Amino acid sequence: MCGIVGYIGRQDAAPVVLEGLTRLEHRGYDSAGVAVLGSRGIRVVKQAGRVRELSDVLPKRFAGTTGIGHTRWATHGPATDANAHPHADESGRVAVVHNGIIDNSAALRAELTDAGVTLASDTDTEVLAHLVARSDADTLEGKVRDALRAVVGTYGLAVLHADFPDRIVVARNGSPLVVGVGDKEMYVASDLAAIVRHTTTVAMLDDGEMATVTAAGFTTMRHTDLSSTGKTATEMDIDASAYDAGDHESYMHKEMLEQPVTAQAVLRGRLDERFGTAHLGGLDMDARDLRAVRRVKILGCGSAYYVGQMGAALIEELARIPADAEAASEFRYRDPVIEPDTLYVAVSQSGETIDTLLAVQEVRRKGGRCVGLVNVVGSAIARECDGGIYLHAGPEVAVASTKALTNMFLGFALLALQLGRVRDLSIADGKRLVAGLEKLPGQIEEILAGEDDLVAVAKSLAEARSLFFIGRVRGFPVAREGAQKFKEISYRHAEAYQTSELKHGPLALIDPEVPTVALVPRDELTERNIGALHEIDARQGPLVVITHAEVDLGEIGARRIDVPRNEPELDPILLTIPLQLLAYHAAQHLGHDIDKPRNLAKSVTVE
Ligand code: F6R
């Protein structure tokens, strides 16, 4: 959440920083600001609103070859001009941008006020500017170290000081920071997306690390004593175009349509047709370790939690090991019992979600083994885990997760297959599932090709103030994910229910104004599902049914969306794809900013 960009070099910094901020806007988009250090000291321009509105108000003469910028997702204080970053001290000689949360900011704000400082904002970040300014260390690094000694919390931080015009000092604790190396120019950012068009030679700071960045290069050191950590930059194998929306009207659209290709990427090299199994070298577990697993607990947040429920069902079904998923945001607060023969699995696109990271730390602190299903290589969760499966979905920019979620499901399918095949899953069943997985990318493509046919259905759903998503067993987490996607970008109230639970209460809400999206695959529960559809139909509830062509809905008045059949265990992901399209077109019909839904941001790095 929130984005940081910095530049020091030969060009004017403001345009470079602004361009970088537009690339990071999915991280937070309620306010933005830039500070430039030029011959007349530091100048700050910041305001509530989007980055493009900020660029409209930047003064024509805003020269200076060193600058930092920020795009914000409000935590402390509303989205106002005053609360936007950068924050400066009273003299205006220090400016800071910060991601994360300073936990003891209330106490520090009180101390600063008692010392006669006039605070200009409601934020936790502002204290950092004052603390840097008030340090009597004679280097900027020393001043930043002193400030960081006083704070408790998480930060990705970049600091400018008018007395040290040749440098930006950055620091990391819990919020990512990367330094990019150019030709006599350097970049800093909270995310590679901001700088990949300029350089792919980068160094990622570790927690507890600081860096001095000048136009000529960078040096890294520990926060505590400023001793060198000697980090060097490495060349990353990144395709910069993967960060662009190209001809698509939004990133979400691009990312949905990429799924046939990205789904292949997570499967590539991991399927073994001969033995009907999967090989996941990154797990770092041999057959004996895998056989020793007695239980699987999946931890993730939001959509990652829902796909974790799909994964748990797959593992239980294929490997016959008890498995469940839990919201990582709740896990550590109930002082969980950590069992030595349970395999904990953290699932996260960003690898930064703080609730998931803290859940992993809880597991590891108590001696448990936690592996990761993570998209972003080298991210905090990936590093914290004992091993894992990278998702290879490529950069996901839209706030609403689509292609990463699909690859999470496939990652779980691979894990379930491997766990199953070291136990009692037969080679015939293993081969059946390998063949099913190989077919999936093509079937996803088939569903996406039918996009235009779903637009009218999506528009009709968009007109409802409230709707249900229902499914049973394998289909219930799909319903939860469908409702999540719908509410996230259309802002309609969408509630997921087990189909079997409808008659135990929510049926009272069914009427001609409340549509239901029902998941009715051809499986052992089809007839029972159809029974529930009759109950809805009898109360004139509008129905959209995601199903298979073989399913006969009889007289039920429903709009049906057929998906291709695969193995029943793999149905959930094929049922999920039309739900993405429905949410997308409903939100588009309502004229919403699909990539930047209100109140949300990509990668939730605050508790
Ligand atoms: C929904 C969505 C969020 C994320 C959740 C976890 O579309 O994107 O619910 O799934 O915030 O994020 P990651 O996967 O980055 O840990």
Q: What is the pLDDT of residue 540?
A: 96
CA of 304 to the centre of ligand 1 (A): 6
Q: What is the mean pLDDT of residues 59-67?
A: 92
Q: Is it the case that residue 102 has pLDDT exceeding 90?
A: yes
Residue 329, ligand 1, Cβ within 6 A: no
* DSSP 8-state class, residue 174: B
Q: Which of 263, 350, 267 is nearest to 302 (CA)?
A: 350
Say yes or no: CB of residue 580 within 6 Å of ligand 1: no
* CA-400 nearest atom, ligand 1: 7
Q: What is the mean pLDDT of residues 335-350?
A: 97
Better-predicted residue by pLDDT, 246 or 217: 217
User: Is the distance from CB of 128 to CB of 84 less than 8 angstroms?
Assistant: no
Catalytic-role residue among 2, 301, 370, 385: 2
Q: What is the pLDDT of residue 183?
A: 96
Q: How confident is the model at residue 60 (pLDDT cuts 50, 70, 90)?
A: confident
C-beta 304 within 6 A of ligand 1: yes
Domains 245-425 and 447-595 share a fold: yes
H or E segment to which residue 140 belongs: helix 140-150
Domain 2-243 architecture: 4-Layer Sandwich (3.60)
Three-class secondary structure of residue 128 per DSSP: helix
When the pLDDT of each residue in the chain is averaged and rounded to a whole number, the result is 96
pLDDT value at position 25? 87
Which residue's CA is the closest to the ligand 1 atom numbered 6?
301
Whole-number pLDDT of residue 607: 79
Region 533-557: what's the mean pLDDT? 96
pLDDT score of 307 more than 90: yes
CATH class held by domain 245-425: alpha beta
Q: Whose CA is nearest to atom 11 of ligand 1?
A: 302
Q: In the predicted model, is pLDDT for residue 201 greater than 90?
A: yes
Q: Is the CB of 349 under 6 A from ligand 1?
A: yes
Return the pLDDT at 241. 84
Counting ligand 1 atoms within 8 A of each CB, the residue from 350, 373, 381 with the most, and so the one to mutate, is 350
CA distance 134 to 424: 66
Other C-beta atoms closer than 10 Å to the C-beta of 10 total 10
Mean pLDDT of all residues in 378-393: 94
pLDDT exceeds cutoff 90 at 237:
no
Q: What is the mean pLDDT of residues 8-16?
A: 96
Identify the pLDDT of residue 544.
98
CA of 155 to the centre of ligand 1 (A): 21
pLDDT for 606 beyond 80? no
Q: Structure tokens of 86? A: 């950068």
Distance 167 CA to ligand 1 centre (A): 35
Nearest in space to 541 (alpha carbons), one of 581, 580, 506: 506
Q: Find the mean pLDDT for residues 62-85.
A: 93
Confidence of residue 460 (pLDDT cuts 50, 70, 90): very high
Reported confidence tier of residue 50, pLDDT bands at 50, 70, 90: very high
Q: Residue 593, SS3?
A: coil
Instruction: Sort 465 into a burial class: Cβ within 10 Å, 0-12 / 13-18 / 19+.
Output: exposed
602 is catalytic: yes
**pTM, rounded to two decimals:** 0.92
Q: Where are the chain's structural domains?
A: 2-243, 245-425, 447-595
The pLDDT, as a whole number, for residue 258 is 97
User: Is the pLDDT confidence value at 605 over 90?
Assistant: no
3-state secondary structure of 235: strand
Q: 293 falls in which pLDDT band (50, 70, 90)?
A: very high
41 — pLDDT class (breaks 50, 70, 90)? very high
Give Cβ neighbours of residue 38 (< 8 Å, ≥ 6 apart).
63, 64, 65, 66
The residue to mutate among 252, 309, 381, 401, having the most atoms of ligand 1 within 8 angstroms of its beta carbon, is 401
The predicted pLDDT at position 110 comes to 98
**CA–CA dist 548, 551 (Å, integer):** 6
Q: Determine what percent of the chain is predicted with pLDDT higher than 70.
A: 100
Cα 403 to ligand 1 centroid, rounded to whole Å: 12
Instruction: Give the DSSP H or E segment for 267.
Output: helix 259-267
Per residue in 352-361, pLDDT (tens digit) is: 999 999 999 9
Residue 193 CB contacts under 8 Å (≥ 6 apart), including other chains? 23, 24, 243, 395, 397
Q: Is 439 exposed, middle or buried (0-12, 13-18, 19+ CB in 10 A)?
A: middle
| CATH code matching the domain that covers 447-595, chosen among 3.40.50.10490, 1.10.1040.10, 3.90.420.10, 3.40.109.10 | 3.40.50.10490
pLDDT digits (tens, 9 = 90+) for 488-525: 999 999 999 999 999 999 999 999 999 999 999 999 99
Rounded mean pLDDT of 416-427? 97
Least confident of 241-250, 278-287, 317-326, 583-592: 241-250
Q: Is residue 239 predicted with pLDDT exceeding 90?
A: no
pLDDT given at position 285: 95
